[in-house]
Amino acid sequence: MPKKQDKRELTEVFQSSDKIYAPSKKIIKEANVPDYEKTLKNAAKNPLKFWEEAAMDLTWFKPWEKTFDDKKKPFYKWFVGGKCNLAYNALDRHVGTEIENKLAIIFEDENGTEKKYTYKELYFEVNKLVNALRGYGVKKGDRVAIYMPNIPEISMAMLACAKIGAMHSVVYAGFSSQALADRINDARAKVIFTADGSFRRGKVIDLKSIVDEAIKQTKTIKRVIVVKNNKQPIKFNKKLDVWFDDFIKGQPTEAKAAKMDAEDPAFVLYTSGTTSKPKGIVHVHGGYPVGVLRTIKWVFDLKGDEVFWCTADPGWITGHSYIIYGPLLAGITTVQYEGMPDMPEPDRIWKVVEKYNVNVLYTAPTLIRAMMKYGAKWPQMHAMPSLRILGSVGEPINPEAWKWYHKYVGKGKCPVMDTWWQTETGMNMITPLPSAPLKAGSACKPFPGIIADVVDKKGKKVPVGKGGFLVIRNQWPSMIRTIFNNPERYIKTYWSEVKGVFFTGDVAFKDKDGYFWIQGRTDDVLKVAGHRIGTAEVESSFVSHPAVVEAGVIGVPDPVKGEVIKAFLILNAKAVASDELKIEIIKHVRHNLGPVAVIKEVEFVDKLPKTRSGKIMRRVLKAKELGLPLGDTSSLV
Ligand code: WT7
């Protein structure tokens, strides 16, 4: 039976050539932030006051003395003198309140296995793990690597580390053993959490053997804690390995949270940059949760009893902030789904939404486009009446995908929040709120308390409609604090390109209404299915094949994945170009980097376009590949 027309339907108004999706009266009336423009204005008058108020949503062991300190800029400090703990705020403080019996995590895997944890149950599990880790000698300031599927135990491991004050370093389980080893070595991690394996598209991913390979190349790992997840046989090394269940067995269910300084690091998360070495982005105990909690509450309009499903993986910042910490900080229910959204059939994702009455669905354009390909009939088979808000993240969403998402998933009544942000920013930065007028394909305006702009190389504002560098003019609590082990690179990457502002590495333009339209990265970082990967990393992997002497890598547009990789390779004199060699080289790179590297094509060439200083001009490769104008080639030799 067709449902009665919902009053919350978004009304559509045309404003010159930009179609505006205006929020309905009902949405505005019910929103946490009913007056969008006024809220933006007020926050802009005094961003520090705005963030100070947001910080009061957390529990502090000791209040801060100074909200913001820029004495050692760009090493900014927030809530100086305050004492707190990220895990305490996400978990402990809900125990003893009415939240404790609410579900914290709903888990389902591809095969349909279900697990649920209330806040109280999760609290007990985390405490056992805290005690076990402490007993093993993990303490404040240590680093713990995590290489796990999207299962409740990854949340437990992260929370336990945070509770102790040890930094977790989660490495996405789609990375190769080499990539994992590099990250373990940079962080000098002492312990690693993993699982026997994971199911994906019906196939087994053998995580434990990838970890075994990786730790052969590391010296610091002293313990491997293995979750029995899919019960596949593993090589068990008695000296190193311990089953997760045995590790926590018999441990007390209470444990005290370490009293952390607001500026103490909470975690490191590696991401790609312009060199082949990944950067360890550092976030802290105080400011990070302030930004995450305020954004999740406002962008997704949380009332306190939501079921929230962010389809990312915990191995990315999206997962850190909006699968795990955000929902738990807000005391709502988060969904962890381990598997593919189209297994066994293309409507698995919509089935999960209906089964658990998901209120907020937060996903990526690449997934939306994959679903579009299967056709609207799949979401049309499901009414999904629980859905209130939709979110998009990871790459620019094309207007067609936005409209499809809005129409067929949100049934025309759920506002779509296109959230622009980065591993470095920790939280949503440019995003509408549900009470804002929307434009399909635009991330709209900066979140209250954030001042963003589009400028040229010299830092000068560019005119309306003209492309330029996206920068952030002010500071915010959940911002990156440094690059682990590499403060110089932190200064150079983010605070030196354009003087006095945070350099995002993205290109964007602003329209006449002040809406931001993100165009993508400047040329050396790719976004493959929303995953960030550096051209330099891919190139160095190509060059590590014995037949390859030089490589130039570009992203080429792909209708589903956004971008895929094309490589131009120069072979050494002895190598014979052939299709077999191409396949072998692609295999080598996939093995080297892991399945995140989606290589569409390789082409053997005699030379690569270069600057006088020998830098490969990827821009020229790209223009030629796509038949675009070459642009300024004055530096080309
Ligand atoms: C880069 C950051 C933080 C979310 C997950 C990715 C691109 C992210 C959007 C968006 C256009 C977007 C940018 C950014 N990006 N969200 N809504 N519209 N582009 O985190 O791996 O650190 O990647 O993702 O290029 O710089 P990340």
Ligand 1 surroundings by CB, under 6 angstroms: 271, 316-318, 393-396, 418-423, 443, 504-506, 518, 520-521, 527, 532
Least confident of 61-75, 316-330, 602-616: 602-616
3-state secondary structure of 120: helix
Compute the distance from residue 443 Cα to the ligand 1 centre, in Å: 11
Give the closest residue (by CA) to ligand 1 atom 2: 422
CA dist 433 → 215, 340, 444 (Å): 44, 29, 9
Compute the distance from residue 530 Cα to the ligand 1 centre, in Å: 7
What pLDDT does residue 631 have? 75
3-state secondary structure of 524: coil
Q: How far is CA 348 from the centre of its chain?
A: 22
How many separate helices (H) and strands (E) can be counted in the chain?
A: 20, 32
Does residue 76 lie within any of the structural domains? no
Q: Half-sphere exposure (CA, 13 Å, Cβ side) for 401? A: 27
Give the closest residue (by CA) to ligand 1 atom 3: 422
| CA dist., res. 145 & res. 268, Å (int) | 10
| CA dist., res. 519 & res. 397, Å (int) | 10
What pLDDT does residue 523 have? 67
CA dist 270 → 147, 213, 381 (Å): 13, 20, 40
List, in sequence order, every beta strand (DSSP E) within 478-561.
482-483, 502-510, 516-521, 525-528, 531-534, 548-558
Does residue 569 lie within any of the structural domains? yes
C-alpha dihedral, 503 to 505 to 511 to 516, nearest 10°? -90
Compute the distance from residue 512 Cα to the ligand 1 centre, in Å: 23
The total domain count for the chain is 1
Give the closest residue to 423 by CA, choosing from 272, 265, 266: 272
Does residue 164 lie within any of the structural domains? no
The number of the ligand 1 atom at minimal distance from the alpha carbon of 423 is: 22
- Span 296-331, pLDDT tens digits: 999 999 999 999 999 999 999 999 999 999 999 999
Compute the distance from residue 395 Cα to the ligand 1 centre, in Å: 5
| CA dist., res. 376 & res. 407, Å (int) | 9
Across 499-512, average pLDDT: 94
- DSSP track, 569-621: EEEPTT----HHHHHHHHHHHHHHH-TT--EEEEEE-S---BBTTS-B-HHHH
Residue carrying structure tokens 């690091």: 265
Q: How many CB atoms lie within 10 A of CB 188?
A: 16
Across 333-346, average pLDDT: 97
Please check the confidence at residue 17 and state whether its pLDDT lies above 70.
Answer: no
**pLDDT range class, residue 614, cuts 50, 70, 90:** confident
Q: How many CB atoms lie within 10 A of CB 341?
A: 18
What pLDDT does residue 2 have? 36
Mean pLDDT of the chain: 94
| CA dist., res. 318 & res. 634, Å (int) | 40
Structural domain of residue 600, as residue ranges? Answer: 527-626
- Under DSSP, the state recorded for 624 is H
CATH code for the domain of 543? 3.30.300.30
Give the closest residue (by CA) to ligand 1 atom 27: 422
**pLDDT range class, residue 5, cuts 50, 70, 90:** very low
**pLDDT range class, residue 224, cuts 50, 70, 90:** very high
Does residue 551 lie within any of the structural domains? yes
| CA dist., res. 349 & res. 357, Å (int) | 12
- Span 133-185, pLDDT tens digits: 999 999 999 999 999 999 999 999 999 999 999 999 999 999 999 999 999 99
Does residue 354 lie within any of the structural domains? no
- Span 377-416, pLDDT tens digits: 999 999 999 999 999 999 999 999 999 999 999 999 999 9
Compute the distance from residue 470 Cα to the ligand 1 centre, in Å: 12
| CA dist., res. 321 & res. 296, Å (int) | 9
Does residue 55 lie within any of the structural domains? no
What pLDDT does residue 630 have? 77
- Under DSSP, the state recorded for 339 is S
Residue carrying structure tokens 């990250």: 183
Q: 507 is written with which tokens?
A: 């290109």
Q: What is the pTM of this model?
A: 0.93
Across 326-353, average pLDDT: 98
Does residue 132 lie within any of the structural domains? no
Please check the confidence at residue 4 and state whether its pLDDT lies above 80.
Answer: no
Least confident of 171-185, 567-581, 600-614: 600-614
Burial of 289 (0-12, 13-18, 19+ CB in 10 A): buried
Residue type, 491: I
Please check the confidence at residue 605 and state whether its pLDDT lies above 80.
Answer: yes
